[in-house]
Structure 1
Amino acid sequence: MLWIPFTLLAAFMQAWRNAFQKQLSKEVSIAGVTLARFLWASPLAAIYLFSLYQWQPVAWPEFSLPFTGFIIAAALAQILATALMVKLFKLRNYAIGAGLAKSEAILAAVLGVAFFSESLSLLAWCGVGLGAVAVFLLSGASWRQLSWPVLLLGLLSGLAFALTSLWVRQASLVLGLPFPHGAAWVLLLVILLQTLILTVYILLSERPTLAALWQRPKLTLAVSVCSCVGSVGWFTAMSLESVALVKTLGQIEVLFMLLISALVFKERLQRADHWGLLLIVLAAIAVMWA
């Protein structure tokens, strides 16, 4: 059951990371905000992996071709997913934008069963479905508020996040290291590759963005720290349990986002529906029981 506390940690930190990214997106380009997520996360991930080896030494990994493919695919998908979410922040308010991107749970369930040999019980499917409805209700959105560009961006972001999670889990399983070392290796390699790709892109196409990040060190560091700690939670939880179950429980992040949206950004949202609160609790209970 260790996947449960790791998932709750990830959801809490991701809510704060998204909040800091929203603030940064007002002054920095989409590529810059995406880079901020990984910029300082690499040394933090390296320190985390080093600490694990000091605590419990295990064998060093042997990197295979399938493992390398999963790492590259996950890194690229997460960059795309983050960029789409930042774009959502510019179109709608914080809670609605991030809430739409949380469609990843049900997409991960469908893709996992269809293409990654995962299996879910009837109770787990009920939990995933309840979670999807709950997220929509708790985000404060309504069909009248949604335009086709917003809906499409949200679903594409959710799809990219779902694929990221599935490929991260496959990389951890293929590596074959004991818990939690395998997830830590995947985390470090994915973040390093993402940092390299985005830094090269920004140097070639929008060099002033690096100066913009340098001029906002506290906010950039906050995004990176929250991202790294959240990723430790996600990657570790997904190495232990099905992506669909982890992401469904992780939808409690929407509750954190609503609080941040109201208390930090002073955004006016519709009152969270009591049915939405009940559904997200039932979804969490269902996936934990499953």
Structure 2
Amino acid sequence: MLWIPFTLFAAFMQAWRNAFQKQLSQHAGAAAVTLARFVLAWPLAGLYLWLLYHWQPAQTLPAFTATFAVLIVAAAVSQIVATALMVRLFQLRNYAVGVGLAKSEAVLAAALGVFFFSAPLTFLGWLGVIIGGIAVWLLSGLRRAAGQAVPASTLMTGLGSGLAFALTSLWVREASLELGMAFPFGAAWVLLLVISLQTLLMVGWLGLRNPQALVSLWQRPGLTVLISLTSCLGSIGWFTAMSLESVALVKTLGQVEVLFTLMISVWYFRERLSQRDHGGLVLIVIAAVCVMWA
């Protein structure tokens, strides 16, 4: 059951990371905000891995395989795409809606896990995933107060972000299992390698195509540091939890992030909660109970 506290910690950190990304997205483009998630996170991930080896010095170094390398590259690229689409959502609609749409990740991870990753769920697990999906639909506000549907471009961007995040999570879990290391060393190695590769890819691409994006981060060091810090801490939680339990269950419980997001929306961004929000929160709790029992 150790995956539960790691998941709750990850969801809390991710909610704050998204809040800081929303702030930065008002001053920088999607690519720059995406890079802020990784640019200072890799030293923190390296420090975390060093501390683990200092704690258990007898633990051996991993044996990397070609399959592991492919999984690392796939996860790194997929998470970059997912984050860029998430930032684009922040610029299209309000904060809570952007996060809510991208949280289709849990349902997509469950379906992909069953059909492509040999990760079946119990009936209670599926029940939790479905209830969680309904909760996210309510909380994301897919229809405006006047009854007007959300634009198709916004809907597709949100679902695309959720799909990319789901694939990232599934590939991260597979990479951790591929190493076959003792807990939590496999997840820590995957975290360091994924974040390092993402930083190299984003810095290289922006350096060639959009140097001004790098300057925009340099001009706002406070937000950049906060985004990287909360991102790294959240990733430690996610990667560790997914090395212990199936992605669908971790991500369904992780939907409590929406609860944290709404709290931040009210307290930090001064947004109001609707009656639909309260109903969605009740369903989030029910979904969390189902997956913990599963």
**Normalised TM-score (structure 2):** 0.96
Quick one: which amino acid aligns to residue 195 of structure 1? T
Q: Do residues 168 (structure 1) and 184 (structure 2) align? A: no
Q: 4+ residue runs of structure 1 moved beyond 4 angstroms?
A: none
**Cα displacement (A) at 1:141:** 3.7
Contact kept in structure 2, 1:138 and 1:255, CA below 8 Å: no
- Following the alignment from structure 1 to structure 2, what is the Cα–Cα distance between the partners of residues 271 and 195? 41
Quick one: which amino acid aligns to residue 267 of structure 2? L
Change (3 A) 1:141 1:266: farther
Quick one: which amino acid aligns to residue 207 of structure 2? L
| Equivalence for 1:113 | 114
- Following the alignment from structure 2 to structure 1, what is the Cα–Cα distance between the partners of residues 196 and 262? 31
Q: Do residues 6 (structure 1) and 3 (structure 2) align? A: no
Secondary structure at the residue paired with 1:118?
coil
**Cα displacement (A) at 1:269:** 4.7
Q: Do residues 100 (structure 1) and 104 (structure 2) align? A: no
- Following the alignment from structure 1 to structure 2, what is the Cα–Cα distance between the partners of residues 151 and 213? 28
- Following the alignment from structure 1 to structure 2, what is the Cα–Cα distance between the partners of residues 118 and 194? 27
**Aligned alpha-carbon RMSD (Å):** 1.1
- Following the alignment from structure 1 to structure 2, what is the Cα–Cα distance between the partners of residues 145 and 225? 36
**Cα displacement (A) at 1:2:** 0.4
Q: Do residues 84 (structure 1) and 88 (structure 2) align? A: no
| Equivalence for 1:51 | 51
For residues 187-245 of structure 1, the C-alpha deviation after alignment (integer angstroms, 9 at most, x for no partner) is 00000000000000110011011111111111000000000000000000000000000
Equivalences, count = 290
Correspondence list, 1:81-230, <5 A: 81-142=82-143, 144-230=148-234
Change (3 A) 1:269 1:149: farther
- Following the alignment from structure 1 to structure 2, what is the Cα–Cα distance between the partners of residues 12 and 118? 26
For residues 116-157 of structure 1, the C-alpha deviation after alignment (integer angstroms, 9 at most, x for no partner) is 010100110000000001112123442734110111000000
For residues 142-189 of structure 1, the C-alpha deviation after alignment (integer angstroms, 9 at most, x for no partner) is 273411011100000000000000000000000111000000000000
- Following the alignment from structure 2 to structure 1, what is the Cα–Cα distance between the partners of residues 287 and 237? 20
Aligned-pair identity (%) = 64
Which runs of 5 or more structure 2 residues have no equivalent in the other structure? none
| Equivalence for 2:17 | 17
Q: Do residues 275 (structure 1) and 276 (structure 2) align? A: no
| Equivalence for 1:256 | 260
- Following the alignment from structure 2 to structure 1, what is the Cα–Cα distance between the partners of residues 124 and 158? 26
**Normalised TM-score (structure 1):** 0.98
Secondary structure at the residue paired with 2:255?
helix
- Following the alignment from structure 1 to structure 2, what is the Cα–Cα distance between the partners of residues 268 and 84? 25
Contact kept in structure 2, 1:139 and 1:258, CA below 8 Å: no
Contact kept in structure 2, 1:61 and 1:175, CA below 8 Å: yes
Q: 1:241 aligns with which of 237, 240, 245?
A: 245
